[in-house]
Amino acid sequence: MRWLWLLLIPLPVLAHMMSMSTGEIRIQGREAEYELRMPLYEIAHIQDPERSLFEHIRFSGGGGTARLTKRECHENPIEGSYSCLAGYEFPEPPDKLEVECTFHSITVPNHVHFLRAIKDGKTAQAVFDFSFEKTVIRFNPPTSLEKAFSEIMAGVFGAIGGAAQLLFLASLVLAARKRRELLALAGMFVAGEIAACVAAPLMSWQPAPRFVEASAALTVAYLAVEILLLPEAGKRWLIVGILGIFHGLYFHLFLQTSGFEPFYVMAGVILAEVALIALFAVVFSKIGKMAAGLRPVQVSASVLLAVGIVWFFVRLRG
């Protein structure tokens, strides 16, 4: 069963832990202005991004598809961002806005685009990723239940959408020597994430996305070292709590970018992480019984250590 873990090796190259962009479209009559902001590292591999990006977002309303009338993009190396400003024209003034966004197909599979739409003083938001490419914005304020559900689901997809989160949760399960310890590790990890989301907005320091992702890669490597070199180490729960803070910085940036309510998003994150931890625990337990002689914990931890180190240097450079 060791070959299963080898499938995780390409993940650091194929996906960023955090891949987010923001957009705002302002509609006045038949005309609209769309502003896009995306991290520079997301477009490094895209040929002619000014053309390609606008081939992967489409606005419709007023009886047809909006026509792109102008576009202008530029890089800002100091901020590490790529910005575009575009103009659109609808056949008729739209009473609703249909949007199709497939940025994930040209950036990375876990890319998330946050769109804010403004019309006649009314504002609406939408989130697009690999599982949600199309939506209709009606500029009616969502009900409390709709808002809660959409933001909880955003937290769920935020928790399961990045390879770093999945790898760390797998490492966390491997690091637990007993069921009670697994509960303690899971609780401290979640506590660390929540602490980061609470404390980060109160600080003047703003973590860069590349720093957050490189730190997350190191957390995977460090926990693997604990498993391999310190199998009897005590207070592992404390270490996991500290490592959880670095993962919480990702959700801090997620909340800051989306403007969502922290309570709902983190509720979705916790639900998803608890479910994944339980799933990993069941799977690893069965693998351990089937392949006890192959030392699956040590083999898996070795692979995770290699992945974490490679990932750290890839993200540090890129």
What domains lie within the chain, and their CATH numbers?
3-15+162-317 (no CATH), 20-141 (2.60.40)
Residue count of the chain, please give it. Answer: 318
Instruction: Give the mean pLDDT of 188-215.
Output: 86
pLDDT at 36 exceeding the cut of 90? yes
Query: Token pair for residue 259?
Result: 């403007």
pLDDT at 220 exceeding the cut of 50? yes
CA–CA separation, 1 vs 243, rounded Å? 28
CA–CA separation, 86 vs 68, rounded Å? 7
Q: List the Cα angle 129/76/316 in 5-degree steps.
A: 70
Residue 30 contacts by C-beta under 8 Å, 6 or more apart in sequence?
62, 89, 90, 91, 92, 93
Instruction: Give the mean pLDDT of 302-311.
Output: 77
User: Does residue 59 contact residue 25 with C-beta atoms inside 8 Å?
Assistant: yes
* Whole-prediction pTM: 0.71
DSSP for residue 192: H
Helix axes 163-175, 179-199, angle to 10 degrees: 140
Query: Token pair for residue 281?
Result: 């625990």
Residue 265 contacts by C-beta under 8 Å, 6 or more apart in sequence?
151, 152, 154, 155, 158, 251, 254, 255, 258
pLDDT at 125 exceeding the cut of 50? yes
**Hey, is 65 helix, strand or coil?**
strand
pLDDT at 172 exceeding the cut of 80? yes
CA–CA separation, 110 vs 11, rounded Å? 11
Terminal-residue alpha carbon distance, the chain = 33
Range from 17-21, 192-196, 286-290, 308-312 that averages highest in pLDDT: 192-196
pLDDT digits (tens, 9 = 90+) for 58-104: 999 999 999 999 999 999 887 778 999 999 999 999 999 999 999 99
pLDDT at 5 exceeding the cut of 50? no
Higher pLDDT, 213 or 291: 213
Amino acid letter, residue 92: E
pLDDT digits (tens, 9 = 90+) for 246-264: 889 889 988 888 888 999 9
Higher pLDDT, 15 or 270: 270
Query: In 10 A of CB 230, how many CB atoms?
Result: 12
CA–CA separation, 226 vs 232, rounded Å? 9
